Amino acid sequence: MVLCAMLLRYICSSGEKEFKSVLDLFEDYLKRWDKMNRGSPKPRLFTVGRLDVATTGLIIVTNDGDFAQKLSHPSSNLNKEYIATIDGEVKKRHLIAISEGTEIEGIHCIPDSVELLPRQPDLSRPRLRIVVHEGRNHEVRELVKNAGLEIHSLKRVRIGGFRLPADLGLGKHVELKQSDLRAMGWKS
């Protein structure tokens, strides 16, 4: 199992030609794997869930189908935490509107939590921490848009109990440890 901090303008599927696939980030990993496992076929890697092309952050890439199925199934109840950097000012009414939810694909989606993060001197834009558990297509973006705000950037920083390492650069990946897998609820 590996973890990846996705680059902007990368996609999670492999069929589109306009953008690079997140799986392209693992070419070096697969070359090293070949050298260490001579004669064995390369593992088939695929993403667990998705991030849209304009979102960065935590994406899980694996060759373990059982793990992928369990992690992505709604019954896993794994929440996902995002940091949304906002263009403009965030007021209490915006937070209330986000917390009340919005309709996506005919279903009313309500976030687990929304919080305005304290201002930091080196950041000019306000940031929101938004936690969701359904992970519907563009859910966080729709929640923010419905509240009358515009997202400048969006980053997924946590899945379940596993947090994206702060020192992991965009486009880099690390192999997950057993403790990381347990943080996401996996029991092997």
Residues designated catalytic: 52
The secondary structure of the chain in percent helix, strand, coil, rounded to multiples of 5, reads 25, 30, 45
CA distance 147 to 139: 12
Q: Which residue has the tokens 């690390």?
A: 174
